[in-house]
């Protein structure tokens, strides 16, 4: 029995599974953020991630500003968030980080208790820094089924 061709098939299968298994990213939601629910079907892409809790704003894992300070600010741009986005864009290490930075896309996870004025300022700051593709993260819920009453 010739096992060479069988080994070739298994090798190709292993490479295929390795390449395709790393293509999805699951965003870990911090415990202090409660996301709204949605019935979205698209998978999230790898992007710059901004967490907006009821207390503070975190950009790529680094706390940058308090929500109370954002509420007190005049204007639409938040300086510390803009500075951190510029820093993330400048500090590209590795291919994965380069792809994320070049995509100019940001995903914002916002606690549902945060006022929309804060979310609007965060989004405005992102677009002023060149991050034009903005996604808001939500919890995926099952679509509601309708029952027919007869």
Query: Where does the pLDDT of residue 12 fall: very low under 50, low under 70, confident under 90, or very high at 90 and above?
Result: confident
Mean pLDDT of 53-73: 88
The model's pTM is 0.61
Q: What is the pLDDT of residue 112?
A: 83
Q: Which residues pair with 66 in a beta bridge?
A: 56
Task: List, for residues 102-137, the tens digit of each pLDDT value.
Answer: 667 888 888 888 888 888 998 998 888 888 888 887
Query: Where does the pLDDT of residue 100 fall: very low under 50, low under 70, confident under 90, or very high at 90 and above?
Result: low
Alpha-carbon separation of residue 107 from 45, 110, 119 (angstroms)? 9, 10, 12
Looking at the domain assignment, is residue 56 inside a domain? yes
What residue numbers bound the domain in which 136 lies? 27-140
Looking at the domain assignment, is residue 9 inside a domain? no
- Domain count along the chain: 1
Looking at the domain assignment, is residue 78 inside a domain? yes
């Amino acid at each position: 029995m010739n096992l060479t061709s069988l080994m070739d098939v298994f090798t190709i299968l292993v490479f295929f599974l390795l390449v395709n298994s790393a293509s999805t990213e699951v965003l870990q939601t911090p415990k202090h953020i409660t996301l709204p629910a949605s019935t979205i079907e698209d998978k999230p892409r790898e992007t710059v991630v901004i967490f907006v809790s009821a207390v503070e704003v975190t950009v790529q894992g680094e706390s940058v500003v308090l929500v109370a300070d954002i509420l007190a600010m005049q204007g639409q741009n938040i300086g510390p968030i803009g500075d951190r986005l510029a820093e993330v864009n400048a500090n590209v290490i590795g291919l994965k980080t380069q792809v994320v930075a070049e995509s100019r896309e940001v995903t914002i996870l916002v606690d549902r208790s945060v006022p929309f004025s804060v979310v609007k300022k965060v989004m405005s700051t992102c677009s002023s820094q060149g991050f034009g593709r903005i996604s808001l993260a939500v919890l995926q819920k099952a679509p509601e089924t309708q029952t027919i009453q007869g």
